[in-house]
A and B are shown apart, each in its own frame.
Chain A
Amino acid sequence: MAAPPRPLDDGPAFPRPPRHGDRKWNRVTSSKPRGLVVLFKMAAPAASPSFLGLGPASRDPAAVRRRSRGSRNRKKSWKRWAGPEAQLGREIGDFLEDVALQQRATGGLIAEQPDEGLFFVDTGNAEKDRRLNKGKEKPLHVDLVLQPDSKVPAPKNILAHQIPNGRKEKRRREFWRRQEEKGVLPRAERRLRARLQRGGVPPPEKAPEKGRSDPERGFYDIWAADNPLERALAGQDGWFLQQTKKQRVKRPARLRTKPSQVPAVEVIAAGGSYNPTFEDHQALLLRAHEVEVRKKRAEDKVERQLSIPAGTQLPTAATVFQEQCEGLLEESGDEEDGEPPPAQPEDAPKPAPRREKKTEQQRRREKEARALACRQRREKAARCRRQEIFRLRSLRRQVKRWEAELLRRRQARLAKCRAKDALPRRLGRLKYEDPSLEVQLSDELAESLRTLKPEGSVLRDRFKSLQKRNLIEPRERAKFKRRYRLKYVEKRAFREVT
């Protein structure tokens, strides 16, 4: 009844049983079941003449000389690692590989394993089998997965247990011990002892200064005459402070004025009350409505300009084709254009009038006429000037009027400037835009404070107020711009699923 022992199922615990080396394995185990040491024992008697030492000097010179590769006319003899030593090397390599594999897979050589480790008893009776092979059941997959791949333990990290500069430190310690015997102490130790002898209490450690945004930070009277801010420099020579750059630069007077006269907190109109009067609410609604209407009108305008004007026909295929063929086809309609337009000769520029050379007499007469005209003009001007003394009054009036006009212009300019000051200035790429009006429709109004739904945001209100008062320039949020296009790659694992 006793069945022959059957090898254990190759579970994943023994994932790669020796395949190619089975034959050799048998040989080795049969001769001497002793790992590496055996190898050399085995090798030494086998090849006593051809045994090679590892050093270069150990080579037999005669053998080197004799080393002929044989004929070279066949490919086989070209092989680099041909010959008995190569053969041996290969064998050793294979053997070592095999041993390493066994160690990885089982934690030791299989030959050294006891029989119970390799085999189990198969009686043919399931219950009996289970009893006999207790503890040899195939482990669960989940446990196997969690086991390390190799049974050979990882090499220890030597560096982890080393102390950096250990030897140096040790030497130093020894040095100081020797010094101590002589009565010489390191500096820190000396100071500590000195302080102990003095008996003084160690100075209290100053607490680190609280930062500017620490919630526990302290304040003091900065506007008092004797404040900690200026105490250090108080009573020193001004010239000295200025030259040593200890005094701060004076703030220019132009920075005292605010850039805008708009109040910091603008109270919302009476209609913005949580429970407004009817009229106030209507007034606010009207304002909001006007804003909306303006916006709508601007939108409509764009829409209108972009739309196709009424009455025009969209191009059909036929008209498009006709347009494309325009001028390509000779048509009979050309006859009308055949006769040349008669208007052309009339439009042509007239030839410039011929210039005849002036005679001497003509020149003289012209000159005389010019002189005369000039003299007359001069005389007239002089006469006028003489007469102006009688125009004094009207002149004064004229001057007055002109001055009044100038004054008016100056005032107008000033008024314009002032009006411009009230408006937010153009400080950057963007223009200031009023925030949209906070408004609640009649049916959104809360009946009581409990049901009130706040409208708008105080944060935005503050931000816009800063912009309106020209303290910061209007900006828009920086948009994220991708430099290169994204490239989509599907991972292999993912592709299998889809």
Chain B
Amino acid sequence: AVTRRLCILKGIYPHEPKHKKKVNKGSTAARTFYLLKDIKFLLHEPIVNKFREYKVFVRKLRKAYGKSEWSTVDRLKDNKPSYKLDHIVKERYPTFVDALRDLDDALSMCFLFSTFPRSGKCHVQTIQLCRRLAVEFLNYVIASRSLRKVFLSIKGIYYQAEVLGQPVTWITPYAFAHDHPTDVDYRVMATFTEFYTTLLGFVNFRLYQSLNLLYPPKIDGQADVELKPAEGKEYAMDSESYLEKLSALSASLARAVAPTHEDEVEMDEFPVEGETAEQLDARKKEQEALEKHKKLFEGLRFFLNREVPREPLAFIIRCFGGQVSWDKSLCIGATYDVSDPSITHQIVDRPRVERQVVGRYYLQPQWVFDSVNAKLCLPVADYFPGVLLPPHLSPFVTEQEGDYVPPEKLKLLAMQRGENPDEESEEEEEEEEEEEEEDDNDKEEEEEDESEKEEEMKLKKLEEQKTQSSKALPVKVTAGKVRLEDKQRLEQEQQSEEKRLAIMMMKKREKYLYKKIMFGKKRKVREANKLAAKRKAHDTAVKEEKKKSKKARRA
């Protein structure tokens, strides 16, 4: 067991031999193998001696207990041998970026362990340390505004943040969702956690340093005054209230150096060689979009009702610049009351709200998550309490061309581009009609395409349909008539001609491959169409039902 622990701590993993018989004395039975050199390397570790000392300590302690020599027991306990993993962290991650790349595991583990009940499954100290590190990391993400994606799944909540240019993904379980699975080796998990807590601690320190924040984090003086110290006593003892306040995520952190308000300075641009103006432009645009995304909730004031999950919501809202508060009795660190007239959004999760206050939106929590993923504040009408919610899409799925894109996502994409399909067709019916029309167009064009045999053209057309179905009008060219638009058309034709020629010039083998690829694409399109049709059928069925129920209600 000690060897396994050591291997995990040192990052040495079992190895599958190429020739099982050679290493296993001629037997082919499956066993666990480690490389001999790895184990030899392991033996240089100073922790090995510490483990031995610990073994001796346990033996002495047991003996003292057996003889009921209590003074000896106390003395032994005072001198309990302990070890640290700092040097292993340094050894395994020689640079900071290495550590950042491996942060996914560490974060997921810490968040998981911090939700464990304080029962005998693992050390209470470990749980507390995990909680502290997790809260510190959340505070860093808030301070740096680096959250990018959130996904509520049935398993837990997935987050993705961009830490110093590295995407970091982690999963947190829902609160109070505990069944302790029996097929999991808790000792192994605890060993991993032991290492990851050390790693995360050092990473946190460095991250705080990079933002000029104090570590261990201190709540900003101003905010500290706001959180009246007397108030805190109801929630926790003085020793605990620090972490509790920190985990409330409502106050900003103190900086080592006072923040200078010169953030507006434009970054100097260094055009990389070989980069065209277009790429530069695109990059700039991306940057702007990112900045806008970071300030998504700036200026909004939220209030969380007590039935919504407080921590994830507070974290997300604060990550995008919003202000958030909750009921005073719910948690420490509430900054304003329900009755505050400046509240713009109130997050509720019950079918009906009595006594609504004028001047604020009552929304379901999904609005916050969807807005973050869509990178814009979505129209609130779909998220009023009691309204059937639109589906929560996964931001981790990226569609390639030709894939099926659900209509919800299409709508979202359109909104992101700045179009507003809702304004054009406010009523659902119209929308659906539109969709139907689109579908019809799809079909017709599909038939046409089949008659033609140019896959290339077809693909392009499909693309056009996908992106801007309304704009793609069938353009006909009659011989002899020259129009102004012809230039584009000619260019296109020439391009397609060139492509056809290139195809003709292909070698037989390559052509075969090319055809295969094209066939695959076509198949994808076909499947996507099939799914769309299915969806349409489903939608119509739902609509029918709705209508029926409406009629029934009326009658």
Interface positions of A (Cβ within 8 A of B): 209, 211-215, 217-223, 227, 229-230, 248-249, 251-252, 255, 259, 263-265, 267-270, 272-280, 425-430, 438, 440, 447-450, 452-463, 466, 470-473, 475-477
Find chain B residues with CB under 8 A from A427 CB.
14-16, 32-33
Partner of A273, one of B152, B188, B201, B215: B152
List 9 A-B pairs, Cβ < 8 Å.
Answer: A248-B44, A252-B41, A255-B11, A264-B108, A269-B394, A275-B366, A428-B31, A450-B308, A462-B109
A63 to chain B: closest CB distance in Å? 57
A286 to chain B: closest CB distance in Å? 12
Find chain A residues with CB under 8 A from B307 CB.
450
B170 interfacial by beta-carbon distance below 8 Å? yes
A270 to chain B: closest CB distance in Å? 4
A250 to chain B: closest CB distance in Å? 9
Contact call B151/A229, Cβ cutoff below 8 A: no
Contacting A at CB under 8 A, from B25-75, are 29-33, 37-38, 41, 44
Partner of B86, one of A222, A452, A471: A222
Q: How far is the CA of A459 from the CA of B156 in the complex (A)?
A: 11
Q: A213-B125, A429-B31 are in contact. Are A454 and B177 (CB under 8 A)?
A: yes
Contact call A449/B16, Cβ cutoff below 8 A: no
Q: Which residue of B lies closest to A212 (CB)?
A: B84
Contacting A at CB under 8 A, from B91-120, are 91-92, 95-96, 99, 102, 104-105, 108-109, 112
Q: Which residue of A lies closest to B178 (CB)?
A: A457
B162 to chain A: closest CB distance in Å? 15
Find chain B residues with CB under 8 A from A259 CB.
13
Contact call A277/B92, Cβ cutoff below 8 A: no
Find chain B residues with CB under 8 A from A269 CB.
394, 397
Query: Which of the 9-residue segments B385-393, B413-421, B509-517 touches chain A?
Result: B385-393
Find chain A residues with CB under 8 A from B169 CB.
263-265, 267
Q: How far is the CA of A440 from the CA of B365 in the complex (A)?
A: 21
Contact call B205/A219, Cβ cutoff below 8 A: yes
B89 interfacial by beta-carbon distance below 8 Å? yes
What string of 1s and 0s marks CB contacts (under 8 Å) between B181-200 and chain A?
11111001100101001100
Interface positions of B (Cβ within 8 A of A): 8, 11-16, 29-33, 37-38, 41, 44, 82-87, 89-92, 95-96, 99, 102, 104-105, 108-109, 112, 123, 125-126, 128-129, 131-132, 151-156, 158, 169-174, 177, 179-185, 188-189, 192, 194, 197-198, 201-202, 204-206, 209, 215-216, 307-309, 349-350, 364-366, 388-389, 391-394, 396-397, 404, 406, 408, 531, 534-535, 538
Partner of A255, one of B38, B170, B349: B38
Q: How far is the CA of A106 from the CA of B265 in the complex (A)?
A: 104
Contact call A454/B104, Cβ cutoff below 8 A: no
Q: A263-B104, A279-B531 are in contact. Are A463 and B389 (CB under 8 A)?
A: no
Partner of A268, one of B37, B44, B155: B155
Find chain B residues with CB under 8 A from A429 CB.
29-32
Q: How far is the CA of A94 from the CA of B177 in the complex (A)?
A: 78
Contact call A477/B153, Cβ cutoff below 8 A: no
Partner of A270, one of B102, B397, B534: B397
Partner of B153, one of A268, A457, A459: A268
Q: Which residue of B lies closest to A278 (CB)?
A: B538
Contact call B156/A454, Cβ cutoff below 8 A: yes
Partner of B389, one of A218, A275, A438: A275
Q: How far is the CA of A279 from the CA of B393 in the complex (A)?
A: 11
Contact call B129/A458, Cβ cutoff below 8 A: no
Contact call B126/A222, Cβ cutoff below 8 A: no
B105 to chain A: closest CB distance in Å? 5
B58 to chain A: closest CB distance in Å? 16
B459 to chain A: closest CB distance in Å? 22
Q: How far is the CA of A425 from the CA of B14 in the complex (A)?
A: 10
Contact call A229/B86, Cβ cutoff below 8 A: yes
A290 to chain B: closest CB distance in Å? 17
Q: Which residue of A lies closest to B128 (CB)?
A: A215
Q: How far is the CA of A463 from the CA of B83 in the complex (A)?
A: 25
Partner of A213, one of B102, B179, B189, B197: B197
Q: How far is the CA of A336 from the CA of B457 in the complex (A)?
A: 84
B85 to chain A: closest CB distance in Å? 6
Contact call A274/B96, Cβ cutoff below 8 A: no
Contact call B154/A440, Cβ cutoff below 8 A: yes
A254 to chain B: closest CB distance in Å? 8
Q: How far is the CA of A270 from the CA of B84 in the complex (A)?
A: 41
Q: How far is the CA of A227 from the CA of B169 in the complex (A)?
A: 29
Find chain A residues with CB under 8 A from B197 CB.
212-213
Find chain B residues with CB under 8 A from A466 CB.
188, 192
B339 to chain A: closest CB distance in Å? 23
Q: How far is the CA of A215 from the CA of B132 in the complex (A)?
A: 7
Contact call A459/B184, Cβ cutoff below 8 A: yes
Q: Which residue of A lies closest to B388 (CB)?
A: A447
B467 to chain A: closest CB distance in Å? 20
Q: How far is the CA of A452 from the CA of B38 in the complex (A)?
A: 47
Find chain B residues with CB under 8 A from A217 CB.
129, 201
Find chain A residues with CB under 8 A from B205 CB.
219-222
Q: How far is the CA of A426 from the CA of B189 in the complex (A)?
A: 20
Q: Which of A229, A252, A458, A463 has the most CB of B within 10 A?
A: A458
Q: How far is the CA of A429 from the CA of B31 in the complex (A)?
A: 5
Contact call B152/A274, Cβ cutoff below 8 A: yes
Known: A211-B125, A267-B394. 14 other contacts (CB 8 A): A213-B129, A214-B125, A219-B201, A219-B204, A252-B38, A265-B171, A273-B151, A276-B391, A279-B535, A427-B16, A428-B30, A428-B31, A429-B32, A473-B32
Contact call A264/B105, Cβ cutoff below 8 A: yes
Contact call B183/A477, Cβ cutoff below 8 A: yes
Which 8 A-B pairs have CB atoms at the shortest separation, nearest pair first? A215-B128, A264-B104, A270-B394, A454-B177, A458-B173, A249-B44, A219-B201, A277-B391
Q: How far is the CA of A220 from the CA of B198 in the complex (A)?
A: 11
Find chain A residues with CB under 8 A from B535 CB.
278-279
Q: Which of A272, A461, A462 has the most CB of B within 10 A?
A: A462
Q: How far is the CA of A218 from the CA of B393 in the complex (A)?
A: 41
Q: A248-B44, A427-B16 are in contact. Are A438 and B154 (CB under 8 A)?
A: yes
Q: How far is the CA of A212 from the CA of B38 in the complex (A)?
A: 25
Q: Which residue of A lies closest to B37 (CB)?
A: A252
Q: A449-B308, A458-B155, A472-B188 are in contact. Are A279 and B404 (CB under 8 A)?
A: yes
Find chain A residues with CB under 8 A from B170 CB.
265
Contact call A251/B31, Cβ cutoff below 8 A: no
Contact call A438/B87, Cβ cutoff below 8 A: no
Q: How far is the CA of A455 from the CA of B108 in the complex (A)?
A: 17
Find chain B residues with CB under 8 A from A212 CB.
82-85, 194, 197-198
Contact call B309/A449, Cβ cutoff below 8 A: yes
Partner of B350, one of A227, A450, A455, A473: A450
Contact call A229/B105, Cβ cutoff below 8 A: no
Contact call B152/A449, Cβ cutoff below 8 A: yes
Q: How far is the CA of A476 from the CA of B205 in the complex (A)?
A: 38
Q: How far is the CA of A222 from the CA of B182 in the complex (A)?
A: 37
Find chain A residues with CB under 8 A from B83 CB.
212
Q: How far is the CA of A230 from the CA of B202 in the complex (A)?
A: 15
Contact call A449/B104, Cβ cutoff below 8 A: no
Q: Which residue of B lies closest to A470 (CB)?
A: B13
Find chain A residues with CB under 8 A from B396 CB.
267, 270
Q: Which residue of A lies closest to B312 (CB)?
A: A449
Q: Which residue of A lies closest to B349 (CB)?
A: A450
Find chain B residues with CB under 8 A from A227 CB.
90
Contact call B125/A248, Cβ cutoff below 8 A: no
B155 to chain A: closest CB distance in Å? 5
Find chain B residues with CB under 8 A from A263 CB.
104, 169
B64 to chain A: closest CB distance in Å? 19
Q: How far is the CA of A456 from the CA of B112 in the complex (A)?
A: 13
Find chain A residues with CB under 8 A from B112 CB.
458-459, 462
Q: A265-B170, A277-B391 are in contact. Are A463 and B366 (CB under 8 A)?
A: no
Partner of B206, one of A211, A223, A229, A450: A223
Find chain A residues with CB under 8 A from B184 CB.
459-460, 463
Q: How far is the CA of A470 from the CA of B11 in the complex (A)?
A: 11
Q: How far is the CA of A54 from the CA of B188 in the complex (A)?
A: 77
